[in-house]
């Protein structure tokens, strides 16, 4: 949510965005630009964005589509039709930003590639979001988030192994590798255009950015020569100080007590024997000892123990609990809205920097 002073104009007010993208990365990019004040025109094929058919559907509309595309104008157009480029010309002439998410070469074949659009509008910021980028041997290969984090090695750091494979709960490549780099680079390109008057073509590859999440594994590999082990490193479950543990009621406790002061406060709170607190105990022994202490009591007990300690330990929240969390409500992370049946639900609101005097 964009929160600004009453006398401040939204930072992207006056900018016009043409969005040719579908599904998640591109539409979330244009949504965040719209939240910052930009005008967005979404170009959809006659059959509509595939996201319109994603469940759950409420009152005939996909909740996922509604969350990503509220506040945008929509133009239905067959880009393969003979008059498509002509129909779009007035929009192309005044656009500041164009977002597309086709495989490399598709927009060019439609007469809407970067060079063609640049000839109409030299100042255009043209943002292409693809799986593997505009170049490279995999540039034309199909993929989704799971494929991108699998190829970069990120999934292999905490996959659960062959006997208990785990699906990651977040679309890291789509959002952190697609949307966020797109928004950041669009803003950088606008700044550059302010100085030079020139537009640019941004090549955003969803498989590129997840590699930055491997910073610790890569540093460990470079320093020791050892290949990081699946689920056994500092941030993937190999340390007793940074992992999840089960409570007696089956809820999970998230322990992030990396620093010594937090670790010692945590150990004291659960009455962990001294033998398992220091370097004399192996990580496996310490993990087992901590697990034995935490599973003896239900999560509500541990919640009351850890809340006042401020030692980087908390109960893993359900989505409903997160939506009711006063911290997130106060900061506007989830926005209440009434459905047609009168029920109240909360929807995601993108976090855009807050502008204050």
Active-site annotation, residues: 144, 174
167 within 8 A of 134, measured Cβ to Cβ: no
Axis crossing angle, helix 180-196 with helix 25-35, rounded to the nearest 10? 60
Q: Using only C-alpha atoms, what is the Rg of the chain?
A: 24
Beta strands 125-130 and 97-100 are parallel
Q: How far apart are CA 306 and CA 309, in angstroms?
A: 5
How many angstroms separate the CA atoms of 182 and 349, rounded?
Answer: 18
Do 308 and 292 touch, CB atoms closer than 8 A? no
- CA-CA-CA-CA torsion for 51, 210, 321, 327, nearest 10 degrees? -110
CA 47, CA 77: separation in Å to the nearest integer?
9
CB 316 within 8 A of CB 294: no
HEC profile for 1-66? CCCECCCCCCCCCCCEEEECCCCCHHHHHHHHHHHCCCEEEEEECCCCCHHHHCCCEECCEEHHHH
255 and 312 Cβ atoms separated by less than 8 Å: yes
Among 8, 88, 68, CA closest to 357: 8
Distance between CA atoms of residues 89 and 122, nearest Å? 13
- Report the sign of the C-alpha dihedral through residues 234, 240, 241, 246, in that order: positive
């Amino acid at each position: 949510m964009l929160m600004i002073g009453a006398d401040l104009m939204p930072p992207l007010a006056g900018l016009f965005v043409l969005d040719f993208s579908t599904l998640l990365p591109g539409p979330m990019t244009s949504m965040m630009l719209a939240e910052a004040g930009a005008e967005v025109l979404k170009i959809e094929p006659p059959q509509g964005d595939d996201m319109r058919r994603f469940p759950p559907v409420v009152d005939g509309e996909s909740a996922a589509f509604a969350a990503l595309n509220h506040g945008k104008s929509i133009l239905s157009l067959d880009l393969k039709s003979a008059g498509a480029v002509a129909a779009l010309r007035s929009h192309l002439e005044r656009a500041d930003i164009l977002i597309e998410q086709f495989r490399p070469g598709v927009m060019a074949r439609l007469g809407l590639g970067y060079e063609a659009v640049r000839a109409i509008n030299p100042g255009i910021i043209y943002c292409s979001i693809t799986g593997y980028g505009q170049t490279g041997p995999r540039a034309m290969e199909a993929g989704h988030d799971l494929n991108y984090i699998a190829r970069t090695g990120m999934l292999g750091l905490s996959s659960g192994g062959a006997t208990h494979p785990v699906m990651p709960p977040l679309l890291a490549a789509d959002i952190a590798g697609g949307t966020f780099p797109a928004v950041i680079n669009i803003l950088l390109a606008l700044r550059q255009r302010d100085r030079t008057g020139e537009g640019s073509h941004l090549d955003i590859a969803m498989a590129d950015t997840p590699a930055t999440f491997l910073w610790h594994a890569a540093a460990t590999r470079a320093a020791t020569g050892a290949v990081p082990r699946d689920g056994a490193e500092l941030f993937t479950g190999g340390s007793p100080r940074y992992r999840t543990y089960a409570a007696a009621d089956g809820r999970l406790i998230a322990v992030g007590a990396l620093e010594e002061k937090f670790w010692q406060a945590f150990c004291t709170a659960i009455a962990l024997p001294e033998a398992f607190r220091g370097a004399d105990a192996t990580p496996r022994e310490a993990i087992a000892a901590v697990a034995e202490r935490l599973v003896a009591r239900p999560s509500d007990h541990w919640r009351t123990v850890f809340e006042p300690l401020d030692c980087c330990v908390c109960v893993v929240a359900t989505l409903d609990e997160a939506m009711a969390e006063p911290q997130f409500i106060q900061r506007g992370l989830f926005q209440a809205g009434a459905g047609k049946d009168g029920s109240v639900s909360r929807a995601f609101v993108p976090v855009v920097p807050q502008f204050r005097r």
